[in-house]
Structure 1
Amino acid sequence: MKLLSLFFLSVILMGCSNSTSETLIAKNQLGLLRPSTQINEISSILEKDSIGEFNLKSRINTTNEIEVFTKEGEVSLIIEPNYQGDSLVTISEIQILDPKYKTREGLTIQSDFKTIYENYKINNIQNTINSVILSIDEIGAYIVIDKKHLPSKLKFDSEIKIEANQIPGKAPFKYFWLRFEESTP
């Protein structure tokens, strides 16, 4: 009986770790997607999701994006191809729209700035006209926060230097992008 219980427990644990790896955000990784993943492999890797219509031949040397949908029809990911000639097309960046994708620390598209501030080193804060862009090199991500969530003195000046401690903890994300970088041998 103990042996049977251990078997079922190990099967459950393996299933949990497998589903986690399919939704994990990490440096150069989104689930099972990596920088070396070719665009024509995405459908088989994300077989539980629906890939927007994509014709590789008609999209070579363009910047068209690939939309990945949930079974409910919601856009889950937007994949930006990295064109490297006529035959090899890999992933450059991925916009994450689905909260099922998260880092080990629990960072998702539905997180707020406090999650970043408490768990990651912010490498750069870029002040633009309408947004603040946070670069987190540790996971290869950049996150955009709408300036409407900032204090008044920071909202309308795109020249002012914004520090992390000036961004409210409850500021939600507008966009969550993951950069893929090819490693050099």
Structure 2
Amino acid sequence: MVMPRKGYVKDSLQILMVKLIGVKQLESQQLLDADIGQNETYYLHLLSELQASDLDPLTYAFLERKLAYLTSISLEKELQQSRWINLGLLFMVVALSFVIVKTRNKRQELTVSVLSKQERTVRGLILQGKSNKEIANELFISLSTVKTHITNIYSKLNVANREELLQKSTGTST
């Protein structure tokens, strides 16, 4: 049995008109904004049905404008919330970076402070670019004692050579 298509389309348009009248009633009672806020998906679907129908666009233009306005307000709120979240995350990154740098500097200070007074002196002369022989002459100690101090410094600061010691002391890397 084939149903007449015209009757179905006419009924569909009448149902849409009834829905539109209901929406206009909500608007006249100033309840439409709240209802859209609670049932946004329904209203967006209704609008797409109205746009697909043969109804004159002027009959539902108010609903289009209302949905566009309320959607833009909703999007603005979400954008503002996103900005605050991004600002909070940026603050956290800056704070975390500050903590990392501070911790690294303290760790470097602690490793240097584990050196004996003589080892700190030898380290300082190494950082000035002095050779082992120059260090020995300046501190009035033997060359083998300088080498022993340097071995202890390298071990305590976890470096393998003068270049690493310089990089670790100045905080640069190559």
Establish whether TM, by shorter chain, passes 0.5.
Answer: no
For normalisation by structure 2, the TM-score amounts to: 0.24
- Structure 1 or 2: larger helix share? 2
For normalisation by structure 1, the TM-score amounts to: 0.23
Larger radius of gyration: 2
